[in-house]
Structure 1
Amino acid sequence: MRSKTLIINADDFGYDLEATAGILELLSEQKISSTTIMANLVNQADLLSVQKIPAIGTGLHLNLISGKPLSSPADIPSLVGQDGNFLGAKGLLKNAFLNKIKPEQVYLEIKAQLALLETNGIHISHVDSHQHAHQYPMIGPIIQSALARLKIQKIRNSKPLGASVAFRSVLLQVFTTLSGIDKKSFVSPEGIIAKFSFGQEITMDGFEKALTSSFEKACNLEFMTHPALEDREDSYLKRKEEYLFWKNEPVKELLSSQGIRLIHFGEL
């Protein structure tokens, strides 16, 4: 019988003060095992803080959607608008479907984001992406090809486990079916548990049910979470509830009782 392992990864480190502070606290208290960093938004002081926390995974939360790129906008025109900012998810998808995305420009920006973390002493355990862009139709394979060229070996498998009627969950199911993970190039968990990310109730009972149903299908999984000290008005995520859940609930005790070992991507 295969052993059961779980990665609890907090996305969006560096996105804003509230997310970064909440994630740092949860990592320091060993409530979660991993985080992914938005290289184009994070500040140097927070990179130093996360670097000092032992026995965690620190990856790149690859961002081709929000804010300004690290590359010169003139060098990556297929990824940015006239204001020099990324196009957003809809704009990125539109350009991908119109075959306007230039692979070398994607490679250039990913290289810049990885380099910023490496220059600041961050060991990159893995890569995932803002709003799962690495598994979008059309552009997903371009991103994965660039990551393989850059010698990244471990990435998120965004395939959600567990049925959900939420639109975002259904859309993600479709995207991950159309654009899977290149298993010859990458090591990944068998899927994600996204229970908290589609507007569903954040409770210990719901968490336990999600674990049970998901581990009936696979043995090596990632729980995706977006904790923060406060919510954002422009987001549907219940960030503060997620933070309070990891902070206060006996998650480690539950995992132990179910024979689930908490790991990070570096241990895959």
Structure 2
Amino acid sequence: MKKLIINADDFGLTHGCNQGILQGHKEGLISSTTVMMTCPDIVQSLALLKDVDDLGIGVHLCITSGQPLTAGQSFRDKDGAFRKRNTYLHGIDCDIDEVYQEWKAQIDTFIKLTGRKPDHFDSHHHIHLMPRFQSVTRKLSQEYSLPFRQDKRIINDQPFVQCFTDFHASNANIETLKKIIAMPEENIEIMTHPAFVDEELCRISSYSVERKVEFDFWMDSETKAFLNEHHIAITNYTKIAKH
């Protein structure tokens, strides 16, 4: 049976994101989420997950959004926050050891605040898969025995989950879902960004109103019926690791 992880990125970003993800899990198809540990209200956000059953929870590693948890300087802008994603795309580099220490701090802080280990990790803007950061990604995966989001296999000693990262408002539909489940891999992850659109989200993200489209898709009875008819098992990284 094909297994499908539906992972909601950006938990912690805003109240509307949190509520959209939680309702999308309780009443819809969201099976997993990843938490942005660099957001200002992260303690309150994590408290919302305390009694949520059967939701896979990982860490959404950041060096492109929010405030650093460590003293590293090479990834900061002039105001002390993380630099924007486009600076990394245009050749501006940063210290690899500082990135390792920052991402390690984000994972450790998650563990400290929740009392549990995350079941996987990914990153904001796919930064962990950029070639210059893959050594850090591998090191953290091995150090914490954690799987991570992959678009191709780069570590062989963990269950491989093929991630589909192009599911967004313009193609959040059944036709796209048909193409995804037709992929040959047994384990598939869909990256999604469901949310209720609040004022803060519109202020800080260029991808805002589209998130409600994704939320509606995962709540829709037609989507649920389609996956049931095709015998797709909705799962998360914790369950896959047990098999």
Q: TM-score range by the shorter chain?
A: 0.7 to 0.9
Q: What's the CA shift for 1:80?
A: 1.1
Asked if 1:81 is matched to 2:66, the reply is no
Asked if 1:14 is matched to 2:7, the reply is no
Q: Check the 8 A contact 1:106/1:142 in 2, yes or no.
A: no
Q: Which residue of 1 aligns with 2:172?
A: 202
TM alignment of 1:7-156, pairs within 5 A: 7-29=5-27, 31-41=29-39, 42-72=41-71, 76-94=72-90, 97=91, 100-121=93-114, 122-139=116-133, 141-148=134-141, 150-156=143-149
Q: Check the 8 A contact 2:195/2:215 in 1, yes or no.
A: yes
Structure 2 length normalisation: TM-score?
0.86
Q: Distance in 2 between matches of 1:186 and 1:84?
A: 36
Structure 1 length normalisation: TM-score?
0.78
Instruction: Give me the identity figure in percent.
Output: 29
Query: Which AA in structure 1 matches 2:206?
Result: S
Q: Distance in 1 between matches of 2:84 and 2:113?
A: 27
Q: What's the CA shift for 1:190?
A: 2.2
Query: Which AA in structure 2 matches 1:150?
Result: E
Query: Which AA in structure 2 matches 1:194?
Result: D
Q: Distance in 1 between matches of 2:162 and 2:21?
A: 24
Q: Which residue of 2 aligns with 1:164?
A: none
Secondary structure, in 3 states, of the residue corresponding to 2:17? Answer: helix
Q: What's the CA shift for 1:217?
A: 2.9
Q: Which residue of 2 aligns with 1:222?
A: 189
Q: Distance in 2 between matches of 1:86 and 1:149?
A: 26
Moved more, 242-251 or 9-18: 242-251
Secondary structure, in 3 states, of the residue corresponding to 2:10? Answer: strand
Q: What's the CA shift for 1:63?
A: 0.8
- Alignment counterpart, residue 156 of structure 2, candidates 151, 172, 184: 184
Q: Check the 8 A contact 2:28/2:218 in 1, yes or no.
A: no
Q: Check the 8 A contact 2:35/2:57 in 1, yes or no.
A: yes
Q: What's the CA shift for 1:87?
A: 1.0
1:181–1:85 Cα change, 3 Å: farther
Query: Which AA in structure 2 matches 1:83?
Result: D
1:152–1:90 Cα change, 3 Å: farther
Q: Distance in 1 between matches of 2:158 and 2:44?
A: 31
Q: Any idea what the Cα deviations from partners look like across 1:20-72, whole Å, max 9, x if unmatched?
A: 11111122335210000001114212212112111110000111101211112
Q: Which residue of 2 aligns with 1:170?
A: none
Q: Point out where structure 1 has 5 or more consecutive residues left out of the alignment.
A: 160-179
Q: Which residue of 2 aligns with 1:235?
A: 206
Q: What CA RMSD, in Å, does the superposition of the two structures yield over aligned residues? A: 2.2
Secondary structure, in 3 states, of the residue corresponding to 2:170? Answer: coil
Q: What's the CA shift for 1:193?
A: 5.3
Q: Check the 8 A contact 1:36/1:60 in 2, yes or no.
A: yes
Q: What's the CA shift for 1:185?
A: 5.0
1:149–1:262 Cα change, 3 Å: closer
Q: Check the 8 A contact 2:13/2:36 in 1, yes or no.
A: yes
1:114–1:68 Cα change, 3 Å: same
Aligned residues: 233
Q: Distance in 2 between matches of 1:193 and 1:40?
A: 22
1:187–1:105 Cα change, 3 Å: farther
Q: Distance in 2 between matches of 1:260 and 1:30?
A: 15
Q: Check the 8 A contact 1:39/1:116 in 2, yes or no.
A: yes
Q: What's the CA shift for 1:194?
A: 2.6
Secondary structure, in 3 states, of the residue corresponding to 1:188? Answer: coil
Q: Distance in 1 between matches of 2:45 and 2:226?
A: 31
